[in-house]
Amino acid sequence: TSSAKLIDGKAIAETIRQELKAEVDELKAKHGGKTPGLAVVLVGERKDSQTYVRNKKKACEEVGIASFGTDLPETASEDEVLKVVAAYNADPAVHGILVQLPLPKHINEQKVLDAISIEKDVDGFHPLNIGALAMRGRDPLFVPCTPKGCLELLKRSGVQLAGKKAAVVGRSNIVGMPAALLLQREDATVTVIHSRTPDAQKICAEADIIIAACGRAEMVGGDWVKPGAAVIDVGINAVDDPSAKRGYRLVGDVDFAAASERASHITPVPGGVGPMTIAMLLRNCVDGATRTFAAQA
Ligand code: NDP
């Protein structure tokens, strides 16, 4: 008997894409046909990375964002990658640059991410954008897509954040840490839980909002959830399932069935945070282009 309201990330992401399509049309009309552009840099032949890049480019086209791409071989040198980034930094048709991670081991990821112009940093991973996110009175040019998507889901579901207690499980640079900063900016009181945190369950059980991003299948159990709490599950974990066609199924970091009986709102996996990540990437591209066009006008 599930009592939680399901937060339908797929439907919300679709609404956002339609909003963005209308915005892109408006931008074009206002600025002599100019379109926002996203450049995606892929190094190597990882199948999962290729799929992500393909999906991102397809999503761009659907809302009218021009997509550019450079695919480099696994053997590409750091200098070659940096040259590609520099060329996109200088290209006026490009408003967002995304380097698909992970990069091959011989390439210094920090150096490459630092080389992206902060005006085009649509992943929001540049230390200057993260720094601005952390500071009071500052506004980053871009916020990382996955945590931005988590907040968008909470807001569009009418979940109150100001004055509430939030627990974020995970402190990675791409999800947990920026999610905690975003919640704090919304005046929630945030506890960040990581692998060395004692009593993670107790901390979560006191929270009005839980964002789970620890990469541990169904770690957040039903008894971790305070009755009436909102639960956002970022995790994507493959677990063996002989009854499934592919031999595995995807589960989140939350025990969905048990948590649903206590939460007020909950995201499913898949179909929750996942679709929002790409929608927020498109949002960031359109924001970048809007700023650039306004500065040129
Ligand atoms: P990372 O592995 O980079 O970070 C995991 C974090 O969880 C770390 O901070 C780690 O702590 C913490 N952690 C690990 N085990 C425990 C534990 N037992 N108790 C408490 N904390 C723990 O993962 P990501 O942040 O990149 O991703 C998290 C999850 O989200 C993954 O399942 C990933 O697949 C998914 N994901 C989904 C996306 C989407 O679009 N929906 C996008 C990105 C990720 P410590 O720092 O101490 O090591």
Residue 112: which residues within 8 A CB-CB, separation 6 or more? 78, 81, 82, 85, 99, 103
One domain, residues 107 and 157: no
Range of the structural domain that residue 92 is part of: 32-118
Q: Is 204 in the pocket of ligand 1 (CB under 6 A)?
A: no
pLDDT of 1: 57
One domain, residues 191 and 226: yes
One domain, residues 153 and 251: yes
One domain, residues 103 and 170: no
State the pairing for strand pair 237-240/248-251: antiparallel
Per DSSP, the three-state class of 280 is helix
Per DSSP, the three-state class of 262 is coil
Flag whether 193 is in a domain: yes
The Å distance, Cα 172 to ligand 1 centre, comes to: 6
Instruction: Give kind and range of the element (H or E) at residue 211.
Output: strand 209-212
- We report the CATH number of the domain holding residue 166 as 3.40.50.720
One domain, residues 66 and 172: no
Can you give the pLDDT of all 297 residues of the chain as single tens digits? 578 999 999 999 999 999 999 999 999 999 999 999 999 999 999 999 999 999 999 999 999 999 999 999 999 999 999 999 999 999 999 999 999 999 999 999 999 999 999 999 999 999 999 999 999 999 999 999 999 999 999 999 999 999 999 999 999 999 999 999 999 999 999 999 999 999 999 999 999 999 999 999 999 999 999 999 999 999 999 999 999 999 999 999 999 999 999 999 999 999 999 999 999 999 999 999 999 999 998
Pocket test for ligand 1, best of 194, 203, 232, 253 (most atoms within 8 A of CB): 194
- The burial class, CB within 10 Å (0-12 / 13-18 / 19+), for 129 is buried
Flag whether 80 is in a domain: yes
Q: Is 273 in the pocket of ligand 1 (CB under 6 A)?
A: yes
One domain, residues 215 and 260: yes
One domain, residues 184 and 262: yes
| CA distances, 159 to each of 36, 89, 98, 188, 227 (Å) | 32, 38, 31, 12, 14
> Is 160 in the active site?
no
The total of structural domains in the chain comes to 2
> Is 123 in the active site?
yes
One domain, residues 257 and 193: yes
- We report the CATH number of the domain holding residue 109 as 3.40.50.10860
Flag whether 283 is in a domain: no
Structure tokens at 66: 């021009």
pLDDT of 297: 83
Neighbouring-strand partners of residue 37: 66
Cβ neighbour number for residue 284 with a 10 Å cutoff: 26
Pocket test for ligand 1, best of 150, 175, 211, 253 (most atoms within 8 A of CB): 175
- Contact (CB, 8 A) for 270 and 235: no
Flag whether 239 is in a domain: yes
One domain, residues 160 and 232: yes
One domain, residues 198 and 262: yes
Flag whether 221 is in a domain: yes
Flag whether 21 is in a domain: no
State the pairing for strand pair 189-193/237-240: unpaired
> Is 56 in the active site?
yes
One domain, residues 254 and 181: yes
Flag whether 5 is in a domain: no
Catalytic residue among 8, 120, 121, 123: 123
One domain, residues 110 and 191: no
pLDDT of 266: 98
Flag whether 293 is in a domain: no
How far apart are alpha carbons 129 and 123 in whole angstroms? 10
